[in-house]
Amino acid sequence: MPVNLPTTLLRSFVAIVDTGSMLNAAEQVFVTQSALSLQIKRLEELVQQALFTREGRRLVLTPAGEVLLDYARRVLSLHDEAVAAVSAGHFAGPVRVGMVQDFADTLLTGLLARFSELHPDSQIYARVAGTAELQTMLDRGQLDIILGYAAADDPAAIRIAPMGWYGEADLADQGVIPLAVLEKPCRFREAAIAGLDAAGRSWRIAVETPNLSTLRAAVEAGLGLTCRTHLFLPDAESLSAPSLPPLPKVACIVGKAGGLGQATARLAELATEVVRQL
């Protein structure tokens, strides 16, 4: 009897090679590291060959692993092509979307809800994080679509938005301006500090948090000023105090992985339309 190699095992095998580690591969194929180890052990049992050796902390392909890798890529490519052809554009999930916190409320209740209605059998993996982390996950193949921020001159810009100061107006006249900021890395944190330094204004970090909702609560409580776009407090006007320095503009971007399925590509188009209207 011929040996059958399950595509799940082959996909995990390729993920380890492409991401460079068991940890990153586990995140990409949505299993635990222990489950991934068992999958590779099972694959090695099926082909009766060791596929990896360890060099320090690195996993290195054996000669048998090198041979299998080429075949695995071809098998998976043909498999995915067959699924796409048979489904004729129907969803074959999961779709993996990453977004900055500013977009989460709008996208989770609007865009992704609409997508779920169109594809009721879909599975959506939503990741909320900073743009730098999302871009890394996209590059590693862990996300299909990302929505985030970049410099105003970024060629991937979908929309250019002005940054503004938000908070209690009287805080702008203090000798040392209290700032409410997100943890590093944060484009808005850097813009606020750079602007104040250029204007010769003294400042201090009054509130630092990894969470946008906590930042919003701190600003509304009068604990500090912050630098964001209009999405931060949609019902509030940005401050126009002459004592505050001007701020740069920021680009809203949509990043996409290559080789998206028809349904996921359509979601990327819808996301682009939504970002343009934000």
Q: Would you state the pLDDT for residue 193?
A: 95
The pLDDT score that the predictor gives to residue 194 is 95
pTM to 2 decimal places: 0.62
Residues in the chain: 278
Say what the pLDDT of residue 171 is.
Answer: 94
Q: Which pLDDT score is estimated for 92?
A: 52
pLDDT at 244: 92
**Strand 157-162 with 249-256, pairing:** antiparallel
Q: Which domains does the chain have, with CATH numbers?
A: 7-87 (1.10.10.10), 95-158+252-277 (3.40.190.10), 164-247 (3.40.190.10)
pLDDT score, position 52:
93
Q: Which amino acid is at 102?
A: D
The CA distance from 146 to 124, in Å, is 13
Q: pLDDT value at position 87?
A: 56
Give the pLDDT score at 88.
52
Residue 206 to residue 204: CA distance in whole angstroms:
6
- Mapped onto helix, strand or coil, the DSSP state of residue 9 is helix
Q: What pLDDT is attached to residue 40? A: 93
Confidence (pLDDT) at 277: 74
- Alpha carbon dihedral 215, 218, 222, 226, in 10-degree steps, equals -20
Positions in the chain short of pLDDT 70: 1, 81, 83-93, 105-109, 121
Return all residues near 144 (Cβ < 8 A) that are at least 6 apart: 95, 96, 97, 256, 257, 260, 264, 268
The one-character DSSP state at 231 is T
C-alpha angle with apex 259: 257 to 260, nearest 5 degrees? Answer: 70
Q: What is the pLDDT of residues 198-236, one digit of tens each?
A: 999 999 999 999 888 899 899 999 999 999 988 777 777
